[in-house]
Homo-oligomer: A and B are copies of this chain.
């Protein structure tokens, strides 16, 4: 698309009064040209198991099309309907804290076959019914996907098989790994793979050896950081597998000119940003046409710019290309309401990082439930307000200037190498000192990123999977790389 996209998530399903025409009128006035719909509304369009009703989606797509506003369809799979959990309680993930209780989103086991069956059917029915609509420019699969701590018996069984395959293949390729172990490690377990796993993970400690596959212990209790780290890596792989599976389904329905994207969020707490511990955005990106992201950041006096810039640099670097901001705050929650001029500053900051879309979460503000005070462009009164008026300025500017501002590129000389494995490793043994709170991987990363930002040195982000890209830069910064493969180390040395 050779124009900037500007809009908001829109939920006709949540509206307490009939608002669609009026909302579209206000969107048009604000120069908005895109909405995201459909995600999180599974229980509305499949109210009873197997009975589908696309009333809201049809209605919104038709009205948006008539108004010349583009639609991004979101698959609804991150929030499951009541009927599904009632029939199949084990769809709820079993985590460190036991089996969850229905209510919140993102509480299911994304490997559960019953869940996957219902999810696939719902996606296919949604695609069959909606995706050919002329308003639809693309599909967002799921929402900020993680494994949600899923660690029930079936997941742990998959993990054991994953380990057997991984270390089995390693020994086939490098039999010297086995041979080089001290003699005492050999021939103790049921097979060579377990002998080697016991050696690599140091399971002799505290009598934790696994000497037969059927002895595989409940990984949730482990005191072995390497084992826990490997399980976290496996959980991230479940996320990639799940997103790839969804993308493959969706790809069977979309036109050439429609895209698949996903909104990855990055860890933030306090004023810091960083990698998301629970998902590997780089592995996930392979399944997507365009990278998407959710960027929420402190505002008012606490608006630093670094969070927007970091989220943008990460997103742009994943495919070395432009990306979409699929969610960012409009009014946000109390304390985030933008000062005069901040909404515009933020919007242009996104563009300057390479965003081709800025989409607010969300258009209106909810009248119920946990995000009632996480406010959208409009408040619960649906009236024009300062934030809406600021959006009108942005939207109308972009309608005029958009073709000049779209597809902005960077040619950075500096890159930071990041590492999900190091994140997990360092967070297992966080840095503590008498004068500071516990200090993890993202804190180290952000210290460096902030310093660059303040010196006005722009940078890209490199994952180990893209390690060959390091030859494109003049300066490479490698913070806190606690864990790295031989391939990564080799590339760095070279």
Contact A223 B48, CB 8 Å, known A14-B202, A16-B202, A209-B43: no
Chain B residues closer than 8 Å to A212, beta-carbon distance: 48, 83
A interface residues, Cβ below 8 angstroms from B? 11-18, 40-44, 47-48, 53, 55-56, 59, 76, 79-83, 85-86, 100-105, 107, 182-184, 188-190, 199, 201-212, 214-218, 220-226, 334-335, 366-373, 429, 432, 434
Which B residues are in CB contact (< 8 Å) with A214? 86
Beyond the given pairs A16-B182, A103-B222, 9 more chain A to chain B contacts, judged by CB atoms under 8 angstroms and listed by A's residue number, are A41-B207, A43-B203, A47-B189, A48-B211, A81-B207, A83-B211, A103-B221, A104-B206, A224-B370
Q: Say yes or no: B429 contacts A205, CB within 8 Å.
A: no
A221 with B104: CB separation less than 8 A: yes
For the residues of A in contact with B, the DSSP-based class is loop
Q: Which listed residue, B40, B76, B101, B199, touches A218 by the CB 8 Å rule?
A: B101
Q: Which 4 residue pairs spanning A and B have beta carbons closest together?
A: A202-B368, A103-B221, A101-B221, A43-B209
Q: List 11 A-B contacts (CB under 8 A).
A: A11-B205, A18-B183, A44-B204, A48-B212, A53-B188, A82-B217, A86-B217, A103-B217, A202-B369, A205-B368, A224-B370
A218 to B212, CA, bound (A): 37
A210 to chain B, nearest CB (A): 5
Given that A202-B369, A223-B103 are contacting pairs, would A209 and B44 also be in contact in the complex, using a CB cutoff of 8 Å?
yes
Chain B, residue nearest A55 (CB):
B184
Within the complex, the shortest CB–CB distance from A107 to chain B, in Å, comes to 8
Q: How far is the CA of A370 from the CA of B100 in the complex (A)?
A: 28
A43, A80, A183, A203 — most chain B CB neighbours (10 Å): A43
Given the interface contacts A40-B206, A103-B222, A207-B80, does A12 sit within 8 Å of B47 by beta carbon? no
Q: Which B residues lie within 8 Å of A432 (CB)?
A: 334
Q: What's the nearest-Cβ distance from chain B to residue A73, in Å?
A: 16
- Which of B83, B216, B366 is in CB contact (< 8 Å) with A205? B366
CA distance A209 to B53 in the complex (A): 14
Q: Which residues of chain B are near A224, meaning CB under 8 Å? A: 103, 368-370
Q: Are A208 and B103 in contact (CB under 8 A)?
A: yes
A27 to chain B, nearest CB (A): 19
Q: From the candidates B12, B189, B220, B369, name the one contacting A101 in the complex (CB within 8 A).
A: B220
Contact of A367 among B43, B86, B202 (CB under 8 A): B202
